Amino acid sequence: MSSTVVKALMLLEHFSEDEPELGLSELARRSGVDKAAVHRMLGAMAESGLVEQQADSRLYRLGAGVLRLARVRETAFPISSIVQPILDTLSAETGETAHASLISGRALANIATCESKKGSRVSLIAGEVLPYHSTASGLAVLAFGGDALLKRVLSSSLRAKTRFTVTETSQLRARVEAVQQLGFSESDQTNEEDVHGIAAPVFDRTGIACGAVSVSTPSHRMTDEQRQLTMGAVLRAAYTITDGLGGQRPRKYSDLVTALMGDA
Amino acid sequence: MSSTVVKALMLLEHFSEDEPELGLSELARRSGVDKAAVHRMLGAMAESGLVEQQADSRLYRLGAGVLRLARVRETAFPISSIVQPILDTLSAETGETAHASLISGRALANIATCESKKGSRVSLIAGEVLPYHSTASGLAVLAFGGDALLKRVLSSSLRAKTRFTVTETSQLRARVEAVQQLGFSESDQTNEEDVHGIAAPVFDRTGIACGAVSVSTPSHRMTDEQRQLTMGAVLRAAYTITDGLGGQRPRKYSDLVTALMGDA
DNA sequence: ACCAGCGTTGTCAATATATCACCGACAGGG
DNA sequence: CCCTGTCGGTGATATATTGACAACGCTGGT
């Protein structure tokens, strides 16, 4: 529950594309951990190369070690390189921003994106963490990720990201059940203002959802026609990725979506 | 010295391209840590997405979190994408395998490679950890990485990787001083049998070496001519990368190598 | 049935940790 | 110039987390 290792690793969550370098006090404030503790944890992670400290500014940032680890993982399990071309196709088909995410601890990790070519588009922060309860991708995974995952998320606290975010356990359960009926998920402005998401689950070889593919559209641009188009494309992309990863769909899911996928 | 965080993160070192999935007992054996402790550490890292456990085989592997972190870092500081094309050129010029590495905690982390096109070539394990004392890249960084780094490494234990590895502190110091005189480093079979390395340091904007570029050649193929060619190409590549990263060479180094670089 | 190995859980003493206050340094304002 | 507010970093101590050992249930092979 409260091991120092998770506390240390939680610090890494605060580094983002927008703020890639953070000071000691800043990190302590955001994480709510004592400065001294943060200092020790950062020191430990620096020893392992997970973070590094700028010699002059004394700011901390993610270290070269994360690049190394990613290379090891990507060489052994080339997910990104499999997913990327499919996302490119998906984005081209729908004209909107597409992204894929995988289960990563207590949330989803965005691991690949393809931004829309349009001037007005949904722009994702690279490496963003996607909560289960407030994103279309999260709902898709929740619906097909097994009872253990669902129970864990339902019993956690659901933070409101916008005024549309579902924060009631019962409501979330209802939404998940709806997704289980439909075979894909849809969410409008529940994670970010003016962003509409449609997502479908990706399965591992045990038939459990391990991630999701999603298309994010500016809410005002989401017509019924676009919705129809996006839904089919997302389902097909998810289908292709599942196969590419050697995953296996549960029968009930296959039966659900084959009708919706359209001809491709 | 022995914080639990570093112990936990040390476990990650055991995952490699060759063995991307490891069991609990296996990890405990290799790290010399108790099974129960390893179990707890892995659990903690799994919560943060750094590792994930296969549902069926119960094996652990690096998780999607490392991909996310690498994306965040690479988006903010696009090192790999800057380095890769230069390595490609370097490999083409020399006909051998080129790679770049950065300081990552107590060792160097290989962050990009370009393998030789030849049938017989030096093949690097992706994401390998390179010791300072037994690799050409390590020597290059040691020579120009500042006194603090040098002192730390000299006072650590130097493990013999081959029968040619320098394990005596005094010998290592002599080799480092030689590199400081030369401006580049050379090592023959000190890290791996039949592998010859020539490396040059890459500098950050404070004028301290933060990494190295290297060309690895099969020892038997390393003639005087090839040596001359490789040396110039490596120095030029390191020069270009330093500039690309916004780094700054110390004057004494610039004076040293401008003569050696050849015309380019 | 047996054995050997696995992942996992429980216990309890020992140790590394969280918390607090403090330090010197730096920057801006009065 | 001092005063105040930061900053990053450093001890001291009570406490919670950890490490070690043993045992558990389980699986697969013999």
Q: Do the Cβ atoms of B68 and A110 come within 8 Å? A: yes
Please tell me the distance in Å from B262's CA to the nearest CA on chain A: 31
Domains in chain B, start-ordered, CATH in brackets?
3-68 (1.10.10.10), 77-263 (3.30.450.40)
State residue A262's pLDDT score: 65
Within residues 6-25 of protein chain A, the ones with CB less than 7 A from nucleic strand D are 23-25
State residue B127's pLDDT score: 80
Q: Is the pLDDT of residue A263 over 60?
A: no
State residue A56's pLDDT score: 86
Q: Across residues A188-205, what is the average pLDDT?
A: 95
Within residues 57-76 of protein chain B, the ones with CB less than 7 A from nucleic strand C are 58-59
The DSSP annotation for chain A comes to ---HHHHHHHHHTT--SS--EE-HHHHHHHHT--HHHHHHHHHHHHHTTSEEE-TTT--EEE-HHHHHHHHHHHHHS-HHHHHHHHHHHHHHHHSSEEEEEEEETTEEEEEEEE--SSSS---PPTT-EE-TTTSHHHHHHHHHS-HHHHHHHHTS----SSTT----HHHHHHHHHHHHHHSSEEEESSSSTTEEEEEEEEE-TTS-EEEEEEEEEEGGG--HHHHHHHHHHHHHHHHHHHHHTT----HHHHHHHHTTT---
State residue B56's pLDDT score: 85
Considering only residues A157 and A190, tell me which one the structure prediction assigns the higher pLDDT: A190
Average per-residue pLDDT for chain B: 93
Q: Across residues A18-40, what is the average pLDDT?
A: 93
pLDDT in tens, A86-103: 999 999 999 999 999 999
Q: Do the Cβ atoms of B76 and A66 come within 8 Å? A: no
Q: Is the CB of B5 under 7 A from strand C?
A: yes
pLDDT in tens, A161-178: 999 999 999 999 999 999
- Point out the nucleotide closest to A38 (alpha carbon to C1′): C18
Within residues 18-77 of protein chain A, the ones with CB less than 7 A from nucleic strand C are 33-37, 40-41, 44
Q: Do the Cβ atoms of B111 and A64 come within 8 Å? A: yes
State residue A51's pLDDT score: 96
Which regions of chain B are under pLDDT 50? 264
Q: State the pTM of this model.
A: 0.93
Q: Across residues A107-126, what is the average pLDDT?
A: 91
pLDDT in tens, B140-186: 999 999 998 999 999 888 999 999 999 999 999 999 999 999 999 99
**Which span out of A123-127, A156-160, B67-71 was modeled with the highest average pLDDT?**
B67-71
- What share of chain B in percent tops pLDDT 70? 98
Q: Which residue is nearest to nucleotide D20 (CA to C1')?
A: B34
